[in-house]
Structure formats: structure tokens, C-alpha cells
């Protein structure tokens, strides 16, 4: 009998396992893929995510981002830039990065069994039973950190259909001079798709290019991506594309049941404006471990403290991000022009990515900026209707 079984060895699962094992709990992590495994991800570990890491991940860093170019669709002429002396994000390949975090969990005393998928679970009053492709196990608690396509949320009746965005990406081999041109710099392109953006993130040997959309309407997604890569002179083959859902946070949902907690993508905690998910995966994994440790101490496995902690520490800010996302992607061009004309907005936003600000701060700042413009527009409208 384990104190906790963690399903999934992504950032959420290994963050939980490391904290539990460090506190002396008996932890088993079950991962369906052989590690290290590929994960479709642009691999940007934001400053905010980095501040939550207790492992040294420097050997996984392929580039460190100090500059962001933001452009409108395929227009070279319309670019806003933000440069920071301190790193905005670290770019990693997820296979290497997640492997380092898994090694940290094992070093702390957790057992990781890879190439073993969880098939079904049984939630009982005094334990959780887990059936895998190889065996069955029992634990006092279970953390579902099995990502967007996992089984735990669905089996626990905590899955939220229709709350996901989707993103695709390719890893493009390009000539050395083209790769060098992007060193330390990322490109973010708004406008197409309307409810999302395209990106270019440099890695040490290739460029990561992708596109995400946060709307259920996904018409011509691959065609739009093709237009984006054409504008950069980069070609690829259809089989190079890897796509994956991004379960967005900021809604009303339950993150736990007695003896069971969801963390990371399984809990639907990706940022609804940017799609960033690693930071909240790490954070929720750590909060899940806190909750299990409290339950092991008190014998109260209701896990209700976890619902409150995730809501207060993560989801309340994601609710503001969701509001901002709806406003932004309803009027993307208006916001893009605001970004170009007011460098402060970009600074505030990337200070959020770096972990120095909350969405609440950014929202207040944007509202104050937009209000006079809206008032001017209203005055103009009413005076023209009087004429």
C-alpha cells in the first residue's frame, strides 16, 4: 500500500512526487510512455515556471529568451518588440526537461514505473485501487497528473469537455544562419488564427514553430499554419506536425474528490490567453502534494483544502486571464495596435510571464488604458447622433 500513486510523469506529476517523497511519503509514479518521452510543446519554461522549480534544469536549456518580437499576421512592417535584461523564458526540449524532473523525483525517493499505463481506478472509502497494463496497486490517495488526454479526470467524473484549445507544432531544421538570427529571441504572431497566435521559438539545433487556438472554431488551422511558415521561408511535411489539446483554466470546475486530486493539464489549468501550462502544472502538483501530506497527518482524505488552494492560488488569476483572453481575441487588431503604440503593455505582460505580476495587475492596467479611449468613442458617437 502506497501513501500516494501519481499517474503521469510530466511536470505536474513529478513536482507532486518529489515533494511527497522529500517529506518521507511512499510514492509510486506510473507513466504510460517509456521515459524520456516526447511531448508536443514549444518548451518555453517561463520565468514564473522557473521560479517554482527546485531542480537544476540548466543542462536542459537550449536558449534563454531576452527578446520578444510581436507581429500582426504576416506583416513584417508591423512589429512590436520587448527586450528584458533578465530572462523572460528558458527554451527546453520537453523530453530532456521532464527526464531531469523525473530523476529529481527518484532522487527524493519516489518510484517511477514507465511504459505502464493506468487503465482503471476504483475509489473506495479507505483506499484507491489502480489497475494498469501490467499489475494492480493500492494507495491512500491518487494524483491524476496524466495530462489533457489522460484517464483519471474522465473516470472520476471530473472531466470538462469543450474547455480545451488546441495547438500544433513542428521542429524545423533550418540553415545555421537562419537559426542564429533567432538566438535569444522569440516571435509571436497575432491575427491568424483570430482566437490564438503562431510562434517561433529557437532551440539549439532547430526552430520550434507552432500555432494555438483557444476557440472551438478551428477552420483551416493547418492552412493558416502553412501561411505562417511560408512567410518565414520554412518548409515542412504534413507528417512533421504534432498536435495536442490545451485544457484551459479560469472556469468553474472541481479539481478533486475524496482521496483523488487532479493536477496540471488533467485539472485544466493552462493559461487561456497564452496556452502556457508548465508553471501551473508545477504549482498544482506541489499543492496536491501539500494536500496529501495534510491528509496523511490528519486522516481526513476529503481533499477539500485542495479545491480551495487551487482556486485561490491558481484559478482565480486564470479567471482574470480568461476575461482578458475573451476581450483580446474579440478585438485582436485593436489590442495589437495598443501593444505597438504603448510599450508599457508589453512590459507589464512579460513581467507577468516572468512571474513578477498577476493577471489582476495587468487587467487593471489595460482597463485604465482602454477606458479613456472608450469614453472618447462614446462621446464622439453621441455628438454625431445629436447632429
Q: Which residues of the shown chain bind ligand FAD in the complex (CB under 6 A)?
A: 7-13, 30-33, 37, 39-44, 49, 117-118, 145-147, 150-151, 167, 169, 210, 244, 246, 264-266, 270, 275-278, 281
CA distance 258 to 251: 21
Write down the least CB distance from residue 284 to ligand FAD, Å: 8
Residue number closest to ligand FAD, CB atom: 277
Write down the least CB distance from residue 307 to ligand FAD, Å: 18
Q: Which is nearer to ligand FAD, 90 or 301 (CB)?
A: 90
Write down the least CB distance from residue 338 to ligand FAD, Å: 24
Write down the least CB distance from residue 149 to ligand FAD, Å: 6
CA distance 211 to 264: 21
Q: Which is nearer to ligand FAD, 42 or 140 (CB)?
A: 42
Write down the least CB distance from residue 382 to ligand FAD, Å: 45
CA distance 315 to 199: 25
Write down the least CB distance from residue 387 to ligand FAD, Å: 51
Q: Which is nearer to ligand FAD, 324 or 338 (CB)?
A: 324
CA distance 268 to 257: 15
The residue assigned the cell 520565468 is 47
Q: Which is nearer to ligand FAD, 283 or 338 (CB)?
A: 283
Q: Which is nearer to ligand FAD, 156 or 338 (CB)?
A: 156
Q: Any bridge partners for residue 131, and if so which?
A: 120, 136
Q: Which is nearer to ligand FAD, 45 or 366 (CB)?
A: 45
Amino acid at each position: 500500500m502506497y501513501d500516494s500513486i501519481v499517474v503521469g510523469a510530466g511536470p505536474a506529476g513529478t513536482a507532486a512526487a518529489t515533494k511527497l517523497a522529500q517529506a518521507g511519503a511512499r510514492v509510486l509514479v506510473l507513466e504510460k510512455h517509456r521515459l524520456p518521452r516526447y511531448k508536443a510543446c514549444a518548451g518555453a519554461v517561463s520565468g514564473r515556471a522557473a521560479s517554482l522549480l527546485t531542480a537544476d534544469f540548466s543542462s536542459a536549456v537550449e536558449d534563454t529568451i531576452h527578446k520578444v518580437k510581436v507581429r500582426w499576421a504576416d506583416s513584417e512592417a508591423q512589429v512590436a518588440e520587448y527586450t528584458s535584461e533578465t530572462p523572460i523564458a528558458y527554451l527546453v526540449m520537453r523530453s530532456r526537461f521532464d527526464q531531469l524532473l523525473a530523476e529529481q523525483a527518484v532522487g527524493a525517493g519516489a518510484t517511477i514505473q514507465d511504459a505502464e499505463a493506468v487503465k482503471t481506478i476504483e475509489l473506495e472509502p479507505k483506499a484507491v485501487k489502480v489497475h494498469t497494463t501490467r499489475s494492480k496497486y493500492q494507495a491512500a490517495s491518487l494524483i491524476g497528473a496524466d495530462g489533457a488526454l489522460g484517464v483519471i479526470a474522465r473516470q472520476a467524473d471530473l472531466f470538462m469537455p469543450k474547455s480545451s484549445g488546441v495547438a500544433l507544432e513542428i521542429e524545423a531544421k533550418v540553415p545555421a544562419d537562419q537559426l542564429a538570427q533567432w538566438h535569444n529571441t522569440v516571435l509571436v504572431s497575432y491575427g491568424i488564427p483570430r482566437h490564438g497566435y503562431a510562434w517561433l521559438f529557437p532551440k539549439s539545433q532547430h526552430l520550434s514553430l507552432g500555432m494555438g487556438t483557444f476557440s472551438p472554431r478551428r477552420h483551416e488551422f493547418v492552412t493558416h499554419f502553412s501561411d505562417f511558415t511560408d512567410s518565414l521561408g520554412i518548409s515542412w511535411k504534413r507528417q512533421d506536425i504534432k498536435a495536442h489539446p490545451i485544457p484551459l483554466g479560469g472556469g468553474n470546475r472541481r479539481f478533486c474528490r475524496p482521496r483523488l486530486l487532479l493536477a496540471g493539464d488533467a485539472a485544466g489549468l493552462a493559461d487561456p490567453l497564452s496556452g502556457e501550462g508548465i508553471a501551473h502544472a508545477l504549482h498544482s502538483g506541489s499543492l496536491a502534494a501539500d494536500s496529501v501530506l495534510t491528509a496523511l497527518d490528519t486522516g481526513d482524505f476529503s481533499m477539500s483544502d485542495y479545491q480551495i488552494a487551487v482556486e485561490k492560488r491558481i484559478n482565480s488569476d486564470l479567471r482574470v486571464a480568461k476575461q482578458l483572453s475573451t476581450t483580446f481575441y474579440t478585438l485582436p487588431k485593436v489590442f495589437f495596435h495598443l501593444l505597438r503604440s504603448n510599450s508599457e503593455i508589453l512590459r507589464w505582460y512579460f513581467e507577468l510571464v516572468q512571474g513578477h505580476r498577476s493577471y489582476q495587475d495587468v487587467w487593471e492596467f489595460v482597463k485604465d488604458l482602454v477606458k479613456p479611449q472608450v469614453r472618447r468613442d462614446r462621446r464622439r458617437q453621441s455628438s454625431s447622433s445629436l447632429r
